[in-house]
Structure 1
Amino acid sequence: MLFNFITLFPERIHSFFQTGVPGKAIEKKIIQINTIQLRDFAGNKHNRIDDTIYGGGPGMLLQVGPIYRALESLGDKKGHVVLLSAAGETFQQSTAEAMQSQYDKITFISGYYEGVDARVSEHLIDREVALGNYVISSGDIAAICVADCISRLIPGYLGRFSSLQEESHNLENVLEYPQYTKPREFMGWTVPEVLVDGNHKEINVWREANRRTQNIE
């Protein structure tokens, strides 16, 4: 899968994807990362890509022109276009599953400052998503999270398919059970006895009884 990132800070994107599991996935050509520096499409000598808001108000908005030109530069590599925005639909595991199954190219547009000119969401994108009911300082953070979530669903990205099957959010609003590793006792805090007795039937019963539920209020 190809992920395009239209961003003011390409180094943020590359810094995440060059290490760990994402880095290995790139080496194996399971995913591809392409960053587009928005300032390259500013269209003015000062490389300005934002301006004040019509009607007044604090902050600056990303202009529609540079984003339009950046998208056009991708041609048929553009694929499904996603704007990261606090006003978008809340991103869910089901959203990631749908996007992974339907698209092999996804382009993320990162918002900054007070956001982007509304004509971007009105005319240039396919989907607008938010990580949750809160505000973060950069759409790059959200774009990385969404791309990582989708990537984990691609066959071969994770070493063990069972890891994907058993991990959190595969059941609606149900998370994984508590998990422990060595040492068996630390600072007086002990691992539940059932987990070290070797009775896998009882372990499974304990795990199901101790699954946590997601707080979605």
Structure 2
Amino acid sequence: MRIDVISLFPEFVDQCAGFGVVGRARERGLLSLHGWNPRDHAEGNYRRVDDRPFGGGPGMVMMIEPLRAAIRAAQAAGHVDDRPPARVVYMSPQGRPLDQAKVRELAALDRLVLLCGRYEGVDERLIRAEVDEEISIGDYVLSGGELAAAVVVDAVARLQDGALNDAESAIQDSFEADGLLDCPHYTRPVEHELGTVPAVLMSGNHAEIARWRRMQALGRTWARRPDLLDEAALSPADRRLLDEWRASGEGGVVSGAPGPLASGTKKPL
């Protein structure tokens, strides 16, 4: 997969993508990342990329021409005959919230162009003409789209075939198994002042371990993100497991792992 990032600071995203799973995906040739600075496509001695907003107000707005030239240069550099142009995504707090379903959709693409805004944003005409969709990583405002772009690169890269040493780990992630949160995990030592590893995980009974993990995933989702259960297709067996979890009195705290109760209203099923 090829990802092109349009940014005044393209080296920022490149550095973020140089470590861990993303770095390994790049080393294995599963992901290529290319940065494009719109300032390189600006005219004049000062390479200006922004100007004051019409109608007045604070801040500056990124101009059409440098951004459009950078987008088109990125499209041309990665063009492959008989294939559609790369999807252009503008990282914006006004966009669709990024979720795992959208990550899977983006990860299936051959090419992707991420547009990072700065200042007060981007000229609306450029967005309407050149952008395919807007994506947000949360209901808050950052100083630029680079951090959001780095999030997308990381989330998409780890879903490329061969990026993870164990592909099964991606399947078990939060939001992947029927949209539920992941179950809790433990490692050595068994006994610790912070708690004891649940005995079922050391039993060697794989059926019971799978059942316990499913129950914990259901219970954790109910306690922390009950909204996700509204969209999950729970089977009768799942509902029985969740009832069992709730009846156990754990109330969001997994046995053997003390911690604070999750806040928020618990919704009955």
TM-score computed with the length of structure 2 as normaliser:
0.75
What 5-or-longer segments of structure 2 have no aligned partner?
79-84, 229-269
User: Where does residue 73 of structure 1 map in the other structure?
Assistant: 73
User: Where does residue 14 of structure 1 map in the other structure?
Assistant: 14
Letter in 1 for 2:99: Q
User: Where does residue 31 of structure 2 map in the other structure?
Assistant: 31
Instruction: Trace 1:41-190 onto structure 2 (pairs within 5 A).
Output: 41-76=41-76, 77=78, 79-101=86-108, 103-190=109-196
Distance 1:64 1:80, change over 3 A: same
Q: How far, CA to CA, are the matches of 2:97 and 2:28 in structure 1?
A: 31
Runs of 4+ residues over 3 Å off in structure 1:
none
Q: Percent identity?
A: 35
TM-score computed with the length of structure 1 as normaliser:
0.92
Q: How many Å apart are 1:196 and its aligned residue?
A: 2.3
Q: How many residues align?
A: 216
Choose between structure 1 and 2: higher strand proportion: 1
Q: How many Å apart are 1:58 and its aligned residue?
A: 1.7
Q: How many Å apart are 1:53 and its aligned residue?
A: 1.1
SS in 2 for 1:210: helix
SS in 1 for 2:6: strand
User: Where does residue 199 of structure 2 map in the other structure?
Assistant: 193
Q: How far, CA to CA, are the matches of 2:64 and 2:178 in structure 1?
A: 38
CA contact 2:25–2:158 (8 Å) conserved in 1: no
Q: How many Å apart are 1:10 and its aligned residue?
A: 2.0
Deviations 1:57-107 (A, max 9, x none): 222111111101111222432611110011111112111222222x21111
Q: How many Å apart are 1:197 and its aligned residue?
A: 2.8
Letter in 2 for 1:10: P
Q: How far, CA to CA, are the matches of 1:199 and 1:172 in structure 2?
A: 24
CA contact 2:3–2:33 (8 Å) conserved in 1: yes
SS in 1 for 2:153: helix
What 5-or-longer segments of structure 1 have no aligned partner?
none
Q: How many Å apart are 1:188 and its aligned residue?
A: 4.1
* Aligned-residue CA RMSD (Å): 1.8
Distance 1:118 1:195, change over 3 A: same
User: Where does residue 3 of structure 2 map in the other structure?
Assistant: 3
Q: How many Å apart are 1:201 and its aligned residue?
A: 2.2
Letter in 2 for 1:146: V
Q: How far, CA to CA, are the matches of 2:44 and 2:167 in structure 1?
A: 49
Letter in 2 for 1:106: L
